Structure 1
Amino acid sequence: MTDAASPAEDAGRPDGPAAIGRRVQRLRTAQGMTQRQLAEPAYTAAYVSTLEAGRVRPSEAALRHLAGRLGVTSDELLTGRPAHLATDLRVSLLDAQRTLATGAAEDAAADYARLLADAERHGLAGERVAATLGLGQCALETGDLDAARAHFEAAERLLSDAPLPRRARAVRGRAVAHYLAGELRYACYLLETAIAGLDAAGLRDPEALVLLHTAVIAPYMDLGAHARAAQAAEFALSLAPQVSDPALVASMHRTVARTLIAEGRTEEARTSLAKAAELYEGLQIRTELAHCHWMRGYVHAQDGDLESAEAELRTARDMLASKRASLYTAQVEVELADVLRRRGRAQEAEGLLRRLLGELHPDRGAVHAGGARRLLGLIAEERGDLAAAEEHYGAALALLRRSGAAGDLADICLLLGDLLRRLGRAEAAMDVYRTGLGPLGTPGSTTLGPAGPPLPPPA
C-alpha cells in the first residue's frame, strides 16, 4: 500500500517520501543501475521514477525489494541511518563514559558533544538522552554549574513523556548542580518532589529511589536536617540489595557514610567507605574514588588523626586535579587548609585559602566558599588581626545565610558574635547570635515541612 504525502507533511522528515526517493536515487546511481534494473521483476521503471520523484511512499514490500537490490537494510533505506549505527553509538557512549571515569572531563565532553550531534542527526532518541546526561555530568565535574543545569534540563525535556523512573537521573543531576551552587533548599525540593511523585504513582523502582534518596542526603546534612538525612540513608540501604548498578551502590555507601559520621558511628562509616572504594576501584571511577579519600580524610580529622587526614586529603586533591575537576579540587583544598591550620601551619593554610577565593564564590560552591572565609577569619584572629577576622567572618556569614547551611551558619555566628563581644560591641553581637539561632529553632523542618512519619518499607 502506498500513501501520497503533501510537501508540507514531507518537509524535514527523514522517512518522508521525498527523502526516501532521494535516497533510492542516490544509491541506484552510485551502483550504475537503471530504474528498470532496480524495478524488475516485481515493479516497473515508471514506479521507480515516481518514487524517486517523492510522489509516492513505498510499501513495506517495495522497501524490502528495493533494499535487497541496493544492498542495504530496509531501515537504512527508510531512515537514512546506516546499519548498526545505534549499536555503534551505544558503544561510543560507553567509551565516553570510561573517559569521564578515568580521564579529563573536557575530553569526555568533546566525545559526548560529537555523539549528541550524531544522535540528533539520525533521530536516535535514547542515545540523544544518554549523550545529554553525559554532558551534564562532565559540566558538574568541571564546575560549570550553569551548563550542567542546562544539559540536565534538556534531558528532562527529552524525557518529558517518559515514566518518572527514567527521568530520575536528569532530576538528580539538576539537583546536584543546584546543591553545588549553594541552593540547598531548591535541591531538596527537586529531589523530594520526584520521590513524592514516584510514591504517588506507585512506581517503586529501586534504582530510581536509591538514586534520589542518596542525592538528598548531602543537602539535608548541610541544611542541618540530620534526622531526615539519616532517614533517607536508612531507606536507601534497605533497597540496596535490589539495585544492580554497582556505581549506584558505591555512591550510596559513600554518601551514607556522612550520616554515620554525624551520628558518631565512625567504624560503620569506615566500613561503608571501604565498600564504596572497593566498588569504585573495580569500576575505575577515579572522581568518585577521590571522594572516598576525601571522606576518609574528614573522618581522620574528626578523630584528631591530622597526619592521616592530610595524607588522604592530598591524595583526593591530586586525583581530582589530575582529572581537572576544578570545583571538587577547590572544595577538598578547603578541608586540607583546615587540617594544615590545626597542625600549626597557618601560613601555608592561608596561602592556599587566598588562592581558592577566586575559585569559590556565591554561585559556585557557596558552602565551601563560606568555609574558606571562616578559616581565614580564624587564622586572622589567632594572629591578633581582629579587623581582618571580622571582615572574613562577615563574608562567611553572608555566604552561609544565602545557602541556608544551618550548622555552618550557627558556627560562624558564634565566632563572629564572640569576636564582637570581645570588641565591646554587645548589641551587634546579640544580633549575630540571634541570626545563628534562627535556622536551628525548628530542627527537622528546614526543607518542605516537618520530617513526618518514617518512609514506608520497600515492597
Structure 2
Amino acid sequence: MAQNVPQEGPPEGVRPDDPAEIGRRVLRLRGERGLTQRQLAEPAYTPAYVSTLESGKVRPSEAALRHLAERLGVGYEELATGRPAHLAAGLRLRLTDARRALATGAPEDAAELYRTLYEEALTHALTQEQADALLGLGDCLLEAGELADARDRFAAAEHLLADEPLPRRVPAIRGRATAHLLTGELRYACYLLESTLDELNAAGLHDPEALLLLYTASIAPYMDMGAHARAAQAAELALALAPRVDDPALVAGMHRGVARTLIAEGRIAEADASLTKAQELYRHLHIRTELAHCHWMRGYVHAQDGDLERAENELRTAREILASKRAALFTEQVEVELADVLRRRGKTEEAEALLRPLLLTSGADDMGGTETDEALAVETGGDETGAGTLGARRGAVHAGGAHRLLGLIAEERGDTERAEEHYCAALSLLERSSAVGDLADLCRLLGDLLRRTGRVEAAMDAYRTGLGHRAAPGTTTLGPAPAAPPM
C-alpha cells in the first residue's frame, strides 16, 4: 500500500510563503513542465518578471500567483504555500483516525500517530492542524498519567491559537485544567475554568460547545472541593446547553458530570439514569476510556446506595477496560475506589493488595512490604515521578484516599501507630489539593483515633481542623461564581 510521504519543506526557520521559497517552487515546477519563462509569463506578464520572481527578489501578488498556478497546472494554495493539494483535508482525516485510535486502543499507540501528524502540520505551517495534534497528544498523555507533559502540550496548543477567537482555545484550556485537577491542584483548575467562562460571557461569546466543555469540566473540582452548590449550578447550565450541541461525545460527558451532582443531592436513581445515557452514547461512539469512566461512576453510585456487590462489579469492569487501554493513572484511581468497596465487603486482604503497590517506592508490591518501604511510602506519598504510583503531583486526591483506606485497615487490626501514619500522610496530600469534604472526614477519623489512644488535646485539634474545613467549603480563587450566559 502506498504511504503518504510528506513533501520536503523549507529549511527550519524559513516560512513557506517567503518570496525566495515561492520563487524556488515556480522555478522547479516550470522546469518539470519544460516551460520557458516567456511561455509561463504570457500573456499577462513578462519573462523579466518571472525571472525576478524566481530569484526571490519580489513577492508576487495574488493575481500573479493565480496566473502562474493556472499555467503550471497546480492549485493556488500549493503554489503560494508549498502545501500539496488537499493536504489539510488529508491531515484532518488522519487526525480523526488518531482520535479513534485513542478511543479504542492504548494511549501510547495513538500518541505516535499524533506526533507524526504534528510534524507534518508543522512542516507545512498548518496552524489549526498543529494545534489539534497537540490537543490529541495531550489527551494521550493524560490517559498515560504523564500530567506535566500533558499540561505542556495543551499550553502549546493554546499558544498556537493565541490569535484565534476564545471558543477555539477552550479545549486547550480545559485540557490544562484537567491536568491540574489530576495533579491535585483543584483551586487552580477552577481558576482556569472560571476565568475563561467569565471572559466568554463578558465578550458575548456564548458558544454552546465551549460553554458546555467548561461547565462540565468544572463539576469535578467543585465536588472535590466541597462546593456542591456551585457544582449543581454548573450541572444545571450544562443540561440547559446540551440541546444546542451536536457533538454526542460532549453531551455524553455532560451526562457523566451531572451525575456527580445528583449523587451529592441523594438523587441516586436520576444519577444512574444520567450515567446510562452517557454509557449508551460512549458505547455507540466506541470511546472506551469514557465508557470505563461511566462504569466507574456507576460503581460509586451503587456504593453510595449500599449495593456493594453491584458497585464491585461496575468498578471491576471499569478497571478491566482502563487496564486493557493501558490508561495507567485512571486504572490506579479506580483501584483505590475498588479497594474501598472490597474493604467494606470484608475482603480486606484483597483491598490491601490493591493499595500497597500504588504507594510503594520500591518493588515490594506484596501485602507484606518491608518496614522501610512502608514508612517511606507514608512519608513521601509514593514515588511521584515514576509511572504506576500515586502521589502529591500525580492523583493526589486518590493517593490521599489510598492512605486513608490503609489507615482504616491498620486501625481495624489494632495497629494504631501505622493507622496514624497513614492518616497523617493522607491529610498532607488532601490539604495541598483543597479536597474539603475528604479532609473533614479524615480529621474526624484521626480525631477518633487520637481520642481512643488518650491524646485528648490532639484529638480536639484534629476535630477543630475538620470543622474549619467543613464550615468554609469550596471557595475558589475568584470568589463569586461565573455569571450564567443568556439561554
TM-score by length of 1: 0.93
Indicate whether 1:372 and 2:405 are aligned.
no
- Superposition CA RMSD, Å: 1.8
Partners of 2:60 and 2:181 lie apart in 1 by 53
Secondary structure in structure 1 of the residue aligned to 2:422:
helix
State the shift of 1:166 in Å: 1.7
- Choose from 224, 231, 234 the match for 1:232: 234
Say which of 408, 411, 433 aligns to 2:441.
Answer: 411
Worse overlay, 107-116 or 372-381 = 107-116
Q: Which stretch of the first structure deviates more once superposed, 303-312 or 81-90?
A: 303-312
Question: Deviation at 1:330?
Answer: 0.3
Deviation at 1:170, TM superposition (A): 1.3
Indicate which of 151, 154, 161 corresponds to 1:152.
154
Q: Deviations over 1:115-142 (max 9, x none)?
A: 1111111111211221111111111111
Report the AA paired with residue 395 of structure 1. Answer: A
Partner of 2:164: 162
C-alpha distance 17-306 of structure 1, shift in aligned 2 (>3 A) = same
Q: Contact 2:52–2:58 (CA<8 Å) still a contact in 1?
A: yes
CA distance in 1, matches of 2:321, 2:460: 44
Q: Give the secondary-structure state (helix, strand or coil) at the position aligned to 2:143.
A: helix
How do residues 435-454 of structure 1 correspond to structure 2 at under 5 angstroms? 435-443=465-473, 445-449=475-479
Superposed, 1:132-143 pairs within 5 Å as 132-143=134-145
1:115 aligns with 2:145: no
Cα distance per residue 1:130-175 (max 9 Å; x no partner): 1111111111111111011111111221222222222211111111
Q: C-alpha offsets along residues 224-274 of structure 1, whole Å, 9 cap, x if unaligned?
A: 111111111111111111111111110000010011011110110011001
Which residue number corresponds to residue 413 of structure 2?
383
Contact 1:239–1:458 (8 Å) recurs in 2: no
Distance (whole Å) between structure 2 residues aligned to residue 157 and residue 54 of structure 1: 31
Aligned residue type for 2:56: G
Query: Given residue 355 of structure 1, which amino acid in structure 2 is its aligned partner?
Result: P
Between the aligned partners of 1:199 and 1:457, the Cα distance in structure 2 is 6
Q: CA deviation at 1:39?
A: 4.0
CA offset at residue 347 of structure 1? Answer: 0.9
* SS in structure 1 at match of 2:56: coil
Select the residue among 418, 423, 426 that pairs with 1:396: 426
**Cα distance, 1:195–1:384 mapped onto 2, change above 3 Å:** same
Query: Does the 8 A contact of 1:23 with 1:77 survive in 2?
Result: yes
| Kept after mapping to 1: 8 A contact 2:259/2:271 | yes
Question: 2:282: which partner in 1?
Answer: 280
Q: Measure the CA separation in 1 of the matches of 2:62 and 2:391.
A: 60
Deviation at 1:56, TM superposition (A): 2.6
| Partner of residue 463, structure 2 | 433
Is residue 21–residue 54 contact of structure 1 (8 Å, CA) maintained in 2?
yes
What displacement does 1:425 show? 1.1
User: Which residue in 2 is equivalent to 1:182?
Assistant: 184
* Equivalent residues of 1:116, 1:131 under 8 A apart: yes
Partners of 2:40 and 2:166 in 1: CA distance: 48
Tell me the amino acid that sits aligned with residue 437 of structure 1. L
Cα distance between partner residues in 2 of 1:388 and 1:297: 29
1:64 deviates by 3.2
Does structure 2 retain, via aligned residues, the 8 Å contact 1:224–1:446? no
Structure 1 gaps of 5+ residues are 1-10
Q: Distance in 2 between matches of 1:387 and 1:353?
A: 19
Q: Write out aligned runs for 1:42-121 (5 A).
A: 43-121=45-123
Match of 1:24 in 2: 26
List runs of 5+ in structure 2 lacking aligned partners: 1-12, 361-388
Q: Is the 8 A contact 2:215 2:237 kept in 1?
A: yes
For the residue of structure 1 that corresponds to 2:204, the secondary structure is coil
Structure 1 CA distance, aligned partners of 2:133 and 2:298?
Answer: 32
Instruction: Provide the residue aligned with 1:8 in structure 2.
Output: none
Tell me if the contact between 2:194 and 2:481 (Cα under 8 Å) persists in the aligned partners: no
Runs of 4+ in 1 over 6 A off after TM superposition: none
Q: In the TM superposition, what whole-angstrom CA distance separates every residue of 1:265-293 from its partner, at most 9, and x where no partner exists?
A: 01100110011011111111110000000
- Report the more deviating stretch, 231-240 or 23-32: 23-32
**Which has the larger displacement, 437-446 or 209-218?**
437-446
Give the partner amino acid of 2:330.
Answer: Y
Taking structure 2 as the reference length, the TM-score comes to 0.88
Instruction: Tell me by how many angstroms 1:457 deviates.
Output: 6.7
Are the structure 2 counterparts of residues 192 and 44 from structure 1 closer, same or farther at C-alpha, using a change threshold of 3 Å?
closer
Structure 1 window deviating more from structure 2 (35-44 vs 150-159): it is 35-44
Total equivalences in the alignment: 447
Q: Write the distance in 2 (CA, Å) between the matches of 1:38 and 1:450.
A: 66
The alignment status of 1:310 with 2:340, answered yes or no, reads no
